[in-house]
Structure 1
Amino acid sequence: MTALVLHRFPLDPFPYDRWLAELDGGVVMIAARDRIEGGGEQVPDGPGGYRRLEVVDTFDDEELLDRLALELAEEHQVTHVIAPHEADLFRAARLREKFGLPGQLPEGVLLFRDKVLMKQRLEAAGIEVAPHALPGTADEARAFAARHGLPLVFKARDGFGSVGLRIVTTTDELERHLAEAFAPGAALREDLLLEAYVPGRMCHVDGVVVGGRTVMAWPSQYQYDLSSFQADPGARVDLTLDPSDPLTPRLLALAEEALGALDGPDDYAFHAEVFHTPDDRLVVCEVASRPAGARIREVLTAVFGVHPVELASRAYTGLRLPALARLGEGARLAPVRMAGQVLMMKRPGTVRGIPVTPEEPWVEFYGVFAEPGEVLSEAALSSDFLAAAVLSAPNREECERRLRALGARFETEIVID
């Protein structure tokens, strides 16, 4: 067996060569130079532990990427295709379909990538989602605003990473955005999703499905507004919920219900976002059939002692799963501690100061992705970090205290002119 990995991340956090070392045909990887260097890593000058490592400048050249992936799949008789990033799910699915390989196929990916189809499927299962529409014209958008009021949320129908997400709060702002989004005389738009604003705190449930059964899952809660990534100069904290929190079983049950409605593949990692409203409703925002972004992967690793991407990848390729061997029939991995992340976004200017490396024993991950003297641009994605850390603690309260303290240090020590 040989796995092809489509990888638009830095390499160090994803050692597929070690995770899948038992594959007799090894691992073939296509990696992105800009993501490797952006993560502060050196681009390898050889394949290392991989059967083949192809490094392209960027994954932005879709035609090149499709052609290279097809060539490698044919040349190395690939049996499994792994794609941990949202933007590569369809590419991986098309390869599986062409070569008759196991895993999620294009029709299945569509339910997770097309937010309109996703919400329709969830609603049909009795799961609450935000009121939404696909306005083809500015007048249709105005009619939606008249029915649901402001604020309103505009987003790409197939978007990810908060790219293109826009929240409008006033009539003037709405009209300015409509003028940008709907050019006079242009064809009807089918790619712009409009949603009523759902108040409340955003929660997320992350985990892994193996053999069609959820074996790892835990909820967390963002302590910041996801859409503010380009305007937020402060520390952004996100952390797990305690087992005793009343929200915990409700979120886990809702995530399970949503995954069932969307009918995912047998083995995959997932990320589900859910609003918890002031009147105590849970409203599903969206669900992804891929690992979570930011540093949520490291948070889950700290919580369970097992990396979710390693677990999902080994399950998909049919390798042994030692972490699950001790579980009884139908049981899930249980959390051993709480954890969370504190993040600082990149913002325009010249970096004059970066944080001192934290040395506390509860720091599970720490990274700075800029150097003094470097000139930064505005964050392009909600995961475009200047600094990030994952911390653990016996409970949520202590975890939040540690995260806030480190976040305050970050705010003081990071200096950008």
Structure 2
Amino acid sequence: MSVLVLHHRGSLRGTPYDRWLADYDGDVLLLGSRRHLDLVGEDLPGAGSGYRHVEALDGYEAGGTVEPRAVDLAREHGVRHIIACQEQDLERAARLRELLGLPGQRLPSTIPYRNKLVMKDMARAAGIPVAPYAAVECAADVIAFAGERGFPIVVKPRDSAGSIGVKVIGSQEELDRYLAEDAGLHGPFQPNLLVESYVPGAMCHVDGLVVDGRVVFAWPSQYLFALSTFKEDTGGRLDVTLDPDDPLSRRLLELADRVLAALPGPRHFAFHAEVFHTPDDRLVLCEIACRNGGASIRDIMRALFGADPTECWVRAQLGLPLPIDTAGPRLRPSTMAGQLVLVKRAGRVVAVPQERPFPWVEKYNIFVRPGQVMNGPAFSADFLASFVVTGPDRRTCESRMRQVEAWFLGGLVIEPLTGDGPSGPARRPAGGEGTDAR
């Protein structure tokens, strides 16, 4: 009896499935992406790990290699469960479970969380506010939507993650350029796009864990940056939890509950819901995913509730005991927390601060090393470094993140790729898990 883990993206050191499943009565097999392991600078676990079989595949992202290999491993090792925690693996895992007759999440409870068009249809039918939107089958659909709704508009893939492929279009001139250049609207294949009105305001998110069909814990946070600007905005990107006595906290939690009730979910899953808080105090659903939030959101949830939501999600699928009470009332946070991330920028890394400077920095991850040549960020979670801080309230957490940012940039040296020499300590913001610098 074995369990097969599909691992599309991120650090294996940060997601030690073998340790999480050390008490599983069977073998643990792993299929990963060679490209994404290279991005985080990791090799496959070697001798001494708890895996029976580990393998990194080329072409993992494009498909066509993972499924045949997964079927071969399932038949060879008697796989009884397939675990997939990254968004791009969810549909693949659901189809494999159906093909192999295995338990777990199937397509009917996967598609509404992966296809944003289906998601918005179901949410709107349940009376949940969403931005005006439309399917895009050709360029004329975008033109018609802009003509009816005006600018700005947002065009994005229906199944994107990490803000990949999201385009904010603010004028007719920008739309003309987009329609002339964007490959998503050209070629023989039907576009996998939708268009929606741009919603002004702050972006909040609610992250939580569902076990046996009920929410065990959940908490709201607010991004202090725009997710879609990761390629242009290299500054520190802050994300902080909302205080328990903030009226917005209650409203966001209630909206998340309504969204979960409107969509068909599996028995056990983590979720990450993004919600606009508009200047006129409305809450508008952006989207929801049945997986953990990116960056250091797992670490924030661990600080708040004393348990890793991914570990709990994995163990719940295999019927293993969890480190938290899942039968009692919904858990309450023990502290507040926030994360600071800095995305990569082009250049050669000369020096990166190594030591954690303050006792309230719960985790400090470095994703690059001296001598490494960086390109610009490929997706919103393509990080240079990340920090998790804790504090008694939101205001303290935000202040501490600003303090950490100043310390880090004071010791960061990046050499331009032009050959003009080191840039010196970074005086301006320079902005998966990587090296844990705790």
TM-score by length of 2: 0.90
Q: Deviations over 1:199-228 (max 9, x none)?
A: 011111111100000001111110000011
Report the secondary structure of 2:65's partner residue: helix
CA distance in 2, matches of 1:101, 1:231: 44
Q: How does 1:170-189 map to 2 (within 5 A)?
A: 170-181=171-182, 189=190
Quick one: structure 1 residues 42 and 135, their matched pair in 2 at CA, closer, same or farther if it must change by over 3 Å?
closer
Contact in 1 for aligned 2:152/2:168 (Cα 8 Å): yes
Q: Please say which of residues 147-156 and 136-145 is displaced more in the overlay.
A: 136-145
CA distance in 2, matches of 1:105, 1:28: 21
Task: Quote the residue 2:241 is aligned against.
Answer: 240
Report the secondary structure of 1:174's partner residue: helix
Residue identity matched to 2:382:
D
CA distance in 2, matches of 1:65, 1:156: 22
CA distance in 2, matches of 1:185, 1:282: 35
Task: Quote the residue 2:272 is aligned against.
Answer: 271
Task: Quote the residue 1:324 is aligned against.
Answer: 325
Task: Quote the residue 2:207 is aligned against.
Answer: 206
Q: Per-residue deviation at 1:133?
A: 1.0
Contact in 2 for aligned 1:10/1:38 (Cα 8 Å): no
Structure 1 unmatched runs, 5+: none
Task: Quote the residue 1:336 is aligned against.
Answer: 334
Report the secondary structure of 1:63's partner residue: coil
CA distance in 2, matches of 1:391, 1:186: 47
CA distance in 1, matches of 2:278, 2:186: 39
Contact in 2 for aligned 1:346/1:377 (Cα 8 Å): yes
CA distance in 1, matches of 2:188, 2:34: 37
CA distance in 1, matches of 2:272, 2:374: 29
CA distance in 1, matches of 2:164, 2:48: 33
Task: Quote the residue 1:252 is aligned against.
Answer: 253
Residue identity matched to 2:37:
I
Quick one: structure 1 residues 356 and 22, their matched pair in 2 at CA, closer, same or farther if it must change by over 3 Å?
closer
Q: Please say which of residues 61-70 and 38-47 is displaced more in the overlay.
A: 38-47
Residue identity matched to 1:68:
R
Task: Quote the residue 1:363 is aligned against.
Answer: 361
Residue identity matched to 1:232:
D
Task: Quote the residue 1:92 is aligned against.
Answer: 93
Contact in 1 for aligned 2:67/2:96 (Cα 8 Å): no
Q: Per-residue deviation at 1:356?
A: 3.9
Q: Deviations over 1:345-378 (max 9, x none)?
A: 1111222332342232222211111122322112
**Residue identity (%):** 49
CA distance in 1, matches of 2:284, 2:136: 22
Task: Quote the residue 1:151 is aligned against.
Answer: 152
Q: Per-residue deviation at 1:51?
A: 2.2
CA distance in 2, matches of 1:339, 1:58: 37
CA distance in 1, matches of 2:199, 2:6: 35
CA distance in 1, matches of 2:239, 2:274: 13
Q: Per-residue deviation at 1:68?
A: 1.3
Paired positions, count: 414
Task: Quote the residue 2:390 is aligned against.
Answer: 392
Task: Quote the residue 2:135 is aligned against.
Answer: 134
Contact in 1 for aligned 2:203/2:277 (Cα 8 Å): yes
Quick one: structure 1 residues 36 and 190, their matched pair in 2 at CA, closer, same or farther if it must change by over 3 Å?
closer
What is the aligned counterpart of 2:409 among 402, 408, 411? Answer: 411
Report the secondary structure of 2:300's partner residue: helix
Contact in 2 for aligned 1:138/1:182 (Cα 8 Å): no
Q: Deviations over 1:225-252 (max 9, x none)?
A: 0011011121110011111111111111
Q: CA RMSD in A?
A: 1.9
CA distance in 2, matches of 1:381, 1:255: 26
Report the secondary structure of 1:79's partner residue: strand
Contact in 2 for aligned 1:137/1:182 (Cα 8 Å): no
Task: Quote the residue 1:5 is aligned against.
Answer: 5
Residue identity matched to 2:332:
A
Q: Per-residue deviation at 1:185?
A: 8.4
Q: Per-residue deviation at 1:139?
A: 2.9
Q: Deviations over 1:128-179 (max 9, x none)?
A: 1111112333333122112211111110111111111111112211110011
Task: Quote the residue 1:300 is aligned against.
Answer: 301
Report the secondary structure of 2:143's partner residue: helix
Q: Per-residue deviation at 1:92?
A: 0.6
CA distance in 2, matches of 1:299, 1:216: 13
CA distance in 2, matches of 1:385, 1:61: 23
Task: Quote the residue 1:19 is aligned against.
Answer: 20
CA distance in 2, matches of 1:41, 1:248: 38
Contact in 2 for aligned 1:344/1:410 (Cα 8 Å): no
TM-score by length of 1: 0.94
CA distance in 1, matches of 2:76, 2:123: 40
CA distance in 1, matches of 2:89, 2:347: 31
Q: Per-residue deviation at 1:336?
A: 0.7
Contact in 1 for aligned 2:44/2:55 (Cα 8 Å): no
Report the secondary structure of 2:136's partner residue: coil
